[in-house]
Amino acid sequence: MKVTERVEEGSGRVVFPTKLTGTVKLKNTSGNQTVRVVAGKIQYIDAQGQPIELGEARSEPTLRSFSYGAEGLYPGQDASQSLDADFPAETLKANRLREIRLALTYIIPSRFQEETADFTVTMGESK
């Protein structure tokens, strides 16, 4: 994952707002159950463990549907989805960002049950 922002040289004016881009990859490691991801939400968490708001003019970061068969992600099958989400730039300048959380809502058709799983994204220093 990568955070980018375009700033005009000289004036310092932001030409393109800060975005988080990357690829989310999934693999169904179940031996016998199909899974269907129905929604994904990205949440930015500050140093105190509180969600960071993006502001009025920016949209809530979500994932669109993953590309796989009509029935879902079969056992052993992989899927990936491009990520292009608004990002709160001020968190980087003030060292406020502690973590990025990815919540996936999925259905296991054989159980007709909907569940949500949260994943924490590990962040490292840029090179």
* Residue 70 pLDDT level (bands cut at 50, 70, 90): low
Predicted confidence (pLDDT) at residue 16 exceeds the cutoff of 70 = yes
| Tens digits of residue pLDDT in 37-60 | 888 888 888 888 898 887 776 777
In this structure, which CATH number among 1.10.287, 1.10.3300, 1.10.260, 2.60.40 belongs to the domain 2-121? 2.60.40
Closest to 73 (Cα-Cα) out of 106, 39, 112 = 106
Query: Which pLDDT value is given to residue 67?
Result: 62
Query: Which pLDDT value is given to residue 111?
Result: 66
Is residue 6 within 8 A of residue 15, CB to CB? The reply is yes
Which residue matches tokens 């029935």?
71
Query: Which pLDDT value is given to residue 126?
Result: 53
Element (H, E) at 98: strand 97-108
Alpha-carbon gap, residue 91 to 52, rounded angstroms: 8
What is the pTM (predicted TM-score) of this model?
0.70
CA angle (49, 50, 55) in 5-degree steps:
145
Mean pLDDT of all residues belonging to the chain: 79
